[in-house]
């Protein structure tokens, strides 16, 4: 199967992208059911983070292979962002279900993905190409790190801190009793246990979630700003061409009258 002259649709980069899409439902099953030990002999959080990081690595790998082998195709350009958004959205929504991430942050992140995708679709219809921003790449890396930390921290399928039923604090992390105990153990007051590491990883994941939310908002602003600037420049170019065309018509009309 080919796509245009000299371009094969079914190549290794596209196969990696499609495999990332098929990993998504398996990842959701692993994260939301307690049966992974029975299937693969691995704890659920270990299998979940392995699947997630493996799928995220294919995002880097398929682009690198496509560029090195000159196998960039329209199908790959279409499927790659869809696969990324499916993977991240599925992982984040699963974390919300397990109470490992706040719903409001996930709504902001997933909403940003839909907004940028819609903007790029509109831009494409107008002939405007919006390149991926550096902040968008930072956001993707931060998302991978955040999700991995929270999956590992939720070994029991729920947060490793109780906080007496209150939401996990947005700023004052040190007020959580389990975190204070873990920090005391980490810095010498007693032996540090596996549960302490889970608390520390969970705190790091929640802190990284703020980085993801902020980078998502900043990168979304960058995309909309780039679209606005491109649209204004395109409109100005069209007006200039129309003006030059009108002046040319006027000159030809004047020359005809003179004759």
**If you average pLDDT over every residue of the chain, what do you get?**
79
Min mean pLDDT across 3-12, 70-79, 136-145, 250-259 is at 250-259
One of 1.10.3470, 1.20.120, 1.10.10, 2.60.40 is the CATH number of 12-258, namely: 1.20.120
Share of the chain above pLDDT 90, in %: 18
Task: Tell which wins on pLDDT, 36 or 55.
Answer: 55
Check residues 228 and 177 and name the one with the higher pLDDT: 228
Q: Tokens 């994260």 map to which residue?
A: 31
| pLDDT grade for 4, boundaries at 50, 70 and 90 | very low
pLDDT average, residue stretch 249-256 = 53
| pLDDT tens sequence across 83-125 | 888 999 999 999 999 888 889 999 999 999 888 888 877 877 7
Query: What proportion of the chain, given as a percentage, has pLDDT over 70?
Result: 76
- The size of the chain, in residues, is 259
Alpha carbons within 13 A on the beta-carbon side of 244: 5
Of 147 and 252, which is predicted with more confidence? 147
106: CB partners within 8 A, 6+ apart: 92, 93, 95, 96
Q: What is the DSSP string of 90-142?
A: HHHHHHHHTTSS-HHHHHHHHHHHHHHHHHHHHHHHTT---PPPHHHHHHHHH
Whether residue 71 contacts residue 8, with contact meaning beta carbons closer than 8 Å, is answered with yes
Residue 144's pLDDT is 92
Report how far apart, in Å, the C-alpha atoms of 244 and of each of 50, 73, 98, 116, 225 are. 60, 38, 62, 35, 29
Residue 49: CB atoms within 10 Å: 21
What six digits make up the tokens of 24?
């998504």
Residue 70, pLDDT > 70, answer yes
Q: Where are the alpha helices (DSSP H) in the chain?
A: 12-32, 36-40, 44-68, 74-97, 103-125, 134-153, 177-186, 194-258
Q: Is the pLDDT of residue 41 over 80?
A: no
Residue 191's pLDDT is what?
Answer: 76
For residue 191, the cross-strand partners are none
How many Å apart are CA 171 and CA 214, to the nearest integer?
A: 14
Please tell me the distance from the alpha carbon of residue 58 to that of residue 63, in angstroms, as a whole number: 8
Please choose, from the candidates 98, 170, 106, the residue with its C-alpha nearest in 3D space to the C-alpha of residue 143: 106
Q: For residues 182-201, b (16+ Cβ closer than 10 Å) or e, as one string?
A: bbebeeeeeebeebbbbbbb
Is the pLDDT reported for residue 6 higher than 50? no
Residue 1 has pLDDT above 60, yes or no: no
* Segment 189-239, tens digit of pLDDT: 677 778 888 888 888 998 899 999 998 898 888 888 888 888 777 777 767
Report the Cα–Cα distance between both ends of the chain, in Å, rounded: 62
| Residue 5: predicted pLDDT | 46
């Amino acid at each position: 199967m080919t796509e245009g002259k000299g371009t094969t649709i079914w190549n290794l980069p596209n196969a990696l992208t499609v495999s990332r899409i098929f990993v998504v439902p398996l990842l959701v099953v692993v994260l939301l059911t307690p049966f992974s030990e029975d299937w693969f002999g691995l704890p659920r959080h270990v299998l979940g983070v392995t699947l997630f990081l493996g799928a995220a690595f294919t995002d880097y790998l398929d682009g690198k292979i496509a560029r090195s082998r000159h196998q960039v195709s329209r199908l790959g350009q279409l499927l790659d962002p869809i696969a990324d958004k499916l993977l991240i959205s599925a992982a984040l929504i699963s974390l919300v279900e397990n109470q490992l991430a706040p719903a409001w942050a996930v709504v902001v992140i997933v909403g940003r993905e839909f907004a940028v995708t819609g903007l790029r679709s509109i831009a494409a219809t107008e002939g405007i190409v919006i390149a991926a921003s550096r902040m968008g790449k930072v956001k993707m890396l931060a998302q991978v790190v955040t999700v991995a930390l929270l999956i590992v921290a939720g070994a029991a399928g729920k947060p490793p801190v109780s906080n007496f039923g209150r939401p996990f604090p947005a700023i004052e992390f040190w007020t959580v009793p389990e975190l204070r105990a873990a920090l005391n153990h980490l810095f010498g007051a007693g032996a540090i246990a596996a549960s302490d590491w889970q608390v520390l990883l969970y705190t790091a994941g929640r802190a990284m979630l703020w980085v993801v939310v902020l980078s998502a908002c900043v990168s979304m602003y960058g995309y909309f700003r780039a679209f606005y600037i491109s649209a204004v420049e395109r409109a100005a170019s069209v007006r200039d061409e129309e003006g030059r065309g009108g002046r040319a018509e006027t000159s030809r009309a004047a020359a005809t009258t003179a004759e």
